[in-house]
Structure 1
Amino acid sequence: MSLVRIGSFEEFEQYIGKDLGVSDYHQITQEQINQFATATLDHQWIHTDPVKAKVEGAFGDTIAHGYLTLSIVPYLWGQIVDVHNLKMMINYGIESLRFAQAVLVNNEVRLNANLKSVVNLRGTVKAEVNVKLEIKDQKKPAFSGVLVFLYHFQ
């Protein structure tokens, strides 16, 4: 994996319609799921009770919160693209997000990114990125959608 370095609107423009790359795989552990449950006050048993999840759950094990999988996007995005020369970056939005498949405890996931569009809004760059969170050895992604970032370069 090679990190794409972008430091201006013009450099972003070169990647419109192109694959930016994929991150390394990241394993979702029960400890991470439990910490997320504590942080978000979402202790639903399908996430935090391995015994009950094995016996009564539809997945045969605990699953990661959908929003947990979404929350690791900045970490994985940073393995794909190094946007530098910045004054400020804002996570502006998510469009067309669909959770397609549950991520079971100990599954490994990675982010796959393609630059959909980039627009210069009077000095602020609006980038729309098609993303999929792939689950190792699975055909369907955990989720797909379009992330929208605002970058204000120096």
Structure 2
Amino acid sequence: MDQLVCKNFEEFKTYEGKSLPVGQWVLVTQEMINAFADATLDYQWIHVDVERAQKESPFKKPIAHGFMSISLLSKMLMDLMVIESFAMGVNYGLNKVRFPHPVPVDCNLRLHSSIQKIEPYAEKGLKITWDCTVEIQGIEKPACVAEFVSLMFES
């Protein structure tokens, strides 16, 4: 996988309006889904009851929580780039989110993204709007399409 490497925010800002490299595949396991259920207290059977999902679900297996796809965006984006002067980042919000296709257990996801907008934020900070599409390997519709906003700060 290619990785975007920038010395500092000035260099990073030159990527505004451009696509980032395609991300690496991330395997979604039942253990990840169960851990997400534990963290969010969302134990709906379609996510955590393997036997019931096999019998009653139209998908014939458990599916990940939709919000799990969103929560993977930070990790997936940070895997795509290195900014040497980067000190920390925080999530700012989401402008648009859709979950066009459920994420079946034991599938692979990867990120397709671009940097829509970069704005100054406070001292030594940037507010970045990312266009993100989370692809499911072998499935035409994406798991998630989102306009994700984050803050990044330089050291």
Q: TM-score, normalised by structure 1?
A: 0.91
Residue 153 of structure 2 corresponds to which residue in structure 1? 152
Superposed, which structure 2 residues align to 1:117-132 within 5 Å? 117-121=117-121, 123=123, 124-132=125-133
Whole-angstrom CA distance in 1 between matches of 2:147 and 2:67: 15
- 1:122 Cα offset (Å): 5.2
Whole-angstrom CA distance in 2 between matches of 1:7 and 1:141: 32
Q: Where do 5+ consecutive residues of structure 2 fail to align?
A: none
Residue 136 of structure 2 corresponds to which residue in structure 1? 135
Whole-angstrom CA distance in 2 between matches of 1:10 and 1:20: 17
Q: Where do 5+ consecutive residues of structure 1 fail to align?
A: none
Residue 20 of structure 1 corresponds to which residue in structure 2? 20
Question: Do the aligned partners of residues 125 and 7 (structure 1) sit closer, same or farther apart at CA in structure 2, a change above 3 Å counting?
Answer: farther
| Aligned-residue CA RMSD (Å) | 1.5
Matched, 1:113 2:113: yes
CA contact (8 A) 1:7 1:153 kept: no
Residue 52 of structure 1 corresponds to which residue in structure 2? 52
Residue 84 of structure 2 corresponds to which residue in structure 1? 84
Percent of matched pairs sharing the same residue: 34
CA contact (8 A) 1:12 1:118 kept: no
**Cα deviation code 1:100-149 (max 9, x no counterpart):** 11000101001111011112245421111100111001111101111111
Give SS of 2:142's match: coil
**Cα deviation code 1:10-47 (max 9, x no counterpart):** 21221122111121101111111112112211111000
Matched, 1:36 2:36: yes
Question: Do the aligned partners of residues 43 and 121 (structure 1) sit closer, same or farther apart at CA in structure 2, a change above 3 Å counting?
Answer: closer
1:82 corresponds to which letter in structure 2? V
Q: TM-score, normalised by structure 2?
A: 0.91
